[in-house]
């Protein structure tokens, strides 16, 4: 049923469907992953055998590092490639929010940029306590348009979201749990035990009630995502064309600090 996915590993464990982002070691987003993530969440929503979904990254370094800076540099003047990726980013976030099955993020390592947005769109988020999470768009001269500006304020409030989205500062899993950005943090030794406990509890619960409660809880953010994500991604595209973004991508490859001019 799920054999055709190549950027995602898919494993059925009874009523649990485990989806693994497969681009080690950092599980950065690829065009194929952009295409497959919305498809699989819409497919699993129709799968009568799947009662709960666990989303994780391959390996032990990262859940997902998000966008590839080298790829950003190579695509600075390939605007058609950038534009073609934008609907995919919108669809990834909305497909998770709209999937009526409960989705647990097993954040097994660092989650950055779009990787952080994907994790935080999930319903239950269990994060390695020493891993780091951040929306680093501003650090590469971009607007946090592919989910961060939508999701972070819902989780931790507008003022606190500004503190992190305007700086790109990272939190550890322990810090993220303390402020309510993620559900809970766990040590490496306990991560699987905690995730499995959540999967068992939600998978064996009153499926219809859980699904419809998720729909009720997500109704506002789903509506806002449908309305505002096109705007957010348009603003991110505006900054994709900026000199500051070009400088950030160049500086990263040259292993130096960027010198932003505001242009």
* Residues of the chain above pLDDT 70, percent: 93
Greatest C-alpha distance within the chain = 55
Give the model confidence (pLDDT) of 163-176 as tens digits.
Answer: 999 999 999 999 99
Using pLDDT thresholds of 50, 70 and 90, give the confidence band for residue 84.
low
Give the model confidence (pLDDT) of 202-239 as tens digits.
Answer: 999 999 999 999 999 999 999 999 999 999 999 998 89
The per-residue pLDDT for 159 is 98
In this prediction the pTM is 0.94
pLDDT for residue 200 is more than 90: yes
The per-residue pLDDT for 86 is 72
Domains and CATH numbers, the chain: 8-191+199-203 (3.90.226.10)
Using pLDDT thresholds of 50, 70 and 90, give the confidence band for residue 63.
very high
pLDDT, average across residues 135-154: 95
pLDDT, average across residues 148-172: 98
- Between CA 3 and CA 6 the distance in angstroms is 8
Using pLDDT thresholds of 50, 70 and 90, give the confidence band for residue 126.
very high
The per-residue pLDDT for 80 is 66
List the single range of 57-71, 79-93, 117-131, 137-151 with lowest mean pLDDT: 79-93
* Residues of the chain above pLDDT 90, percent: 83
């Amino acid at each position: 049923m799920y054999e055709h996915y190549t950027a995602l590993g898919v494993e059925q464990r009874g009523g649990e469907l485990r989806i693994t982002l497969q681009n080690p070691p950092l599980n950065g987003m690829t065009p194929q992953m952009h295409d497959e993530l919305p498809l699989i969440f819409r497919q699993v929503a129709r799968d009568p055998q799947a009662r709960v979904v666990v989303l994780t990254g391959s390996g032990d370094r990262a859940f997902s590092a998000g966008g590839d800076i080298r790829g950003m540099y190579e695509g600075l003047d390939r605007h058609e490639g950038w534009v073609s990726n934008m609907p995919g980013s919108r669809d990834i976030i909305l497909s998770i929010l709209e999937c009526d099955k409960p989705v647990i993020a097993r954040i097994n390592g660092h989650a950055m940029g779009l990787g952080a947005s994907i994790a935080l769109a999930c319903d239950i988020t269990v994060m390695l306590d020493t891993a780091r999470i951040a929306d680093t768009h501003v650090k590469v001269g971009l607007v946090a348009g592919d989910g961060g500006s939508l999701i972070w304020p819902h989780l931790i409030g507008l003022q606190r979201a500004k503190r992190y989205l305007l700086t790109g500062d990272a939190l550890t899993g322990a810090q993220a749990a303390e402020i309510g950005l993620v559900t809970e943090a766990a040590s490496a030794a306990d991560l699987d035990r905690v995730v499995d406990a959540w999967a068992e509890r939600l998978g064996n619960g009153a499926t219809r009630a859980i699904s419809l409660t998720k729909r009720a809880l997500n109704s506002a953010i789903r509506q806002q995502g449908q309305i505002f994500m096109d705007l957010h991604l348009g603003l991110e595209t505006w900054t994709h064309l900026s000199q500051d973004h070009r400088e950030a991508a160049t500086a990263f490859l040259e292993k130096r600090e960027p010198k932003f001019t505001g242009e």
